Amino acid sequence: MHLTIAFQSGTSFAYFCSAYFTILKYMKKIALLFGSLLFALSISAQSGTDIKIKINHYKDSIIFLAHYYGNQQFIKDTIPVIKGWATIKQDTALEHGIYMIVPKDKKSYFDVIIQNEQHFTMVTDTGDYSKNMKVKGSEQNILFFEHNRWVNKKGKERDSLMKALDLAKKENKSDLVKTLEEKISNTNNEVDKDQKDYIAAHPTHLLSKIFLLMQEVEIPTTLANDTLKYQHYKNHFWDKIDFSEEGLIRTPLFHPKLVRYFDKVIAQDFDSLIAAADFLVEKAKANPEMFKYVLHTITSKYERSQIMCFDAVFVHLVNKYYAKKMCPWVNETTLAKMITRAKSLQYVGCGQEARDLKLDGLDGKIHQLSKIKSPYTVVWFWDSDCGHCKSQTPKLKKITDAAPFKDSLVVYSVNIEYETPGFKKFVKETGLEKWTNVSDTTHQSRFRDFYDIYSTPVMYLLDKDKKIIAKRLDPEGLYDFLLRVWNINVPEEERLFKTADKTKTEEHKEHDEE
């Protein structure tokens, strides 16, 4: 069950995250300590799980045991409260990660670290979970709550210093500003040192591994230019991460780092993204659950991507991992659908030569796509009975009629209907006779299979060698793409489509075929 919590408690994980952000906000080289979160544990000889929890003044009859997983929270179990005590007991050990003890109203919660020690007691009070927390039998959680209280104290000190600094700046008290900035820096350094000391003292603890997850790459001062700095940052982005520790998945920190890596660190072209995906999936093989999470997350991200050509990442991952039976968590039905979807996209990848078509034209002649001589060819699949097609096709004509496009752009217009009367009528009424208007009413060419036609309209832009250079653009997107490729600057008042009306050059949300 998915868990939604209204963050109202000062003792929650979110609160401690906030405290870390406040303290480390202005640190230049150290990643923000996302929240005084977590917790680490030593190896226990006891098997299974036996955690007893008492919350003084708690009146409800149940609590929830929940956990993080990626960017979500899930309820794992409902625990009865009997004579004031709730007991989490099972024969097998809980998976590593950050877990939450959530009251029935779900308005607040407190965190507990689950790693190797899973036999302990926790006693606290509804007034302030963290302040009143007493833990026995888990050194890691004892350290966790001590750490939280210390970070909270430092956060308040820093808040006070920041308010004083703002006032000193307004009053132009330069000496006081300098003094306060030094005190703030010292507070930041204290937190930084505490983090490093913890890692050194408890290297196997989950908390230490999370601290390492949050640290930024340190750029050597010897690197002279931005290109070298970027390469160093990219190459060392994952150096400190223990991919054998699946507990990192059950924190709110691993998923954002994963997304940031692909959205902000890696160059936004499909070849670079594919290389990065392979690199990270290989590292994730250190742990089966980590491998599953990383591969699934990347695959899902690019299967749903609305950015042109990024579906190539999905196709690559399906062919390399899923189709080779490396993903036992995927059932046969889902796997078959994924493989089928990847096959439908493999013919229309950016950079590939478009599948040749040889279709009957409205002029009575046969027109072969590969024989068209033009710097650019638009392959436009549409249906004259489709309302969206009727609105978009005249916009495409507007582009092909305008300079400088009209002399460099040919439209290979494919009617997807089984009959042609409506097609002929619309072509005549809209003045599309200059286009290469073709049909395949018997579908002998298998254009639907080779061009992934499941809705209309669909556009592919080909270069002079008939290689796909853009796809699934609407006319406004095509217009922007051509202006950018040809490096043409057009004043707003002279644009074919005004900025306020244009859509981004991404895959538009297509309408279902009628």
SS3 of 237-261: the string is: CCCCCCCCCHHHHHCCCHHHHHHHH
Distances from the Cα of 177 to the Cα of 113, 159, 166, 345, 495, angstroms: 40, 15, 8, 60, 52
The whole-chain average pLDDT of the chain stands at 87
pLDDT score at 304:
87
Quick check: 496 pLDDT over 50? yes
pLDDT of 79 strictly over 50: yes
From residue 504, alpha-carbon distances to 451, 476, 508 in Å are 22, 8, 8
Instruction: Give me the mean pLDDT over the 244-264 stretch.
Output: 97
456 vs 417: CA distance, rounded Å: 11
pLDDT (average), residues 388-395: 94
The pLDDT of residue 22 is above 60: no
pTM, 2 dp: 0.80
Question: What is the mean predicted confidence (pLDDT) over 343-355?
Answer: 91
Instruction: Look at residue 491 in the predicted model and tell me its pLDDT.
Output: 87
- Torsion sign across C-alpha atoms 68, 288, 39, 261: negative
443: its two tokens: 């579908």
| Among the ranges given (13-22, 29-38, 69-78, 346-355), the one the predictor scored with the smallest mean pLDDT | 29-38
Q: How far apart are CA 221 and CA 218, in angstroms?
A: 9
List beta partners, residue 460: 379, 471
For the segment 76-99, the average pLDDT, to the nearest whole number, is 96
Bridge partners (DSSP) of residue 124 are: 55
Percent of the chain scored above 90 by pLDDT? 74
Q: What is the pLDDT of residue 85?
A: 96
Residue 75: its pLDDT value, please? 95
- Which residue would you say has higher pLDDT here, 318 or 307? 318
CB of 302 within 8 A of CB of 317? yes
DSSP code for 224: -
- Cβ within 8 Å of residue 143, ≥6 positions away: 39, 40, 198, 202, 207
Which is nearest to 82 in space by CA: 107, 58, 102, 116?
58
Angle between helices 270-284 and 288-303 (to 10 degrees): 160
**pLDDT (0 to 100) of residue 501:** 53
Residue 200 three-state SS: helix
Residue 212 has pLDDT above 90, yes or no: yes
Give the pLDDT band of residue 4 (cuts 50, 70, 90): low
* Model confidence at 435: pLDDT above 50: yes
Find out whether 479 and 423 touch, Cβ atoms under 8 Å: no
pLDDT tens across 269-307, in order?
999 999 999 999 999 999 999 999 999 999 999 998 888
- DSSP type of residue 408: T
Could you tell me if 375 and 500 are in contact, meaning their C-beta atoms sit under 8 angstroms apart?
Answer: no
pLDDT tens digits for range 23-77: 344 333 333 333 333 333 333 347 899 999 999 999 999 999 999 999 999 999 9
- pLDDT on residue 455: 87
Q: Pairing relation of β-strands 97-103 and 62-69?
A: antiparallel
C-alpha to C-alpha distance for 305 and 293, rounded to whole angstroms: 18
Q: What is the mean pLDDT of residues 106-131?
A: 94
Q: How many CB atoms lie within 10 A of CB 35?
A: 25
**Cβ 135 vs Cβ 117: under 8 Å:** no
pLDDT digits (tens, 9 = 90+) for 330-346: 999 999 999 999 998 98
CB proximity list for 250: less than 8 A, separation 6 or greater: 67, 68, 69, 95, 96, 97, 98, 99
Spatial distance between the Cα atoms of 479 and 470, rounded to a whole number of angstroms:
12
Query: CA of 264: how far to CAs of 230, 236, 261, 270, 493, in Å?
Result: 11, 14, 6, 14, 34
Position 5 scores a pLDDT of 52
Helix (H, G, I), strand (E, B) or coil at 161: helix
* Percent of the chain with pLDDT strictly greater than 70: 88
- Across the range 224-251, mean pLDDT stands at 96
152-173: average pLDDT: 93
CB 273 within 8 A of CB 302: yes
Q: State how far the Cα of 60 lies from the Cα of 101, in Å rounded to an integer.
A: 13
Q: Determine the Cα–Cα distance for residues 194 and 205; give it in Å rounded to an integer.
A: 15
Per the structure block, which two tokens stand in for 240? 């400190």
> Among 411-415, 459-463, 483-487, 494-498, which stretch is predicted with the lowest mean pLDDT?
494-498
Q: What is the largest CA-CA distance in the chain?
A: 88
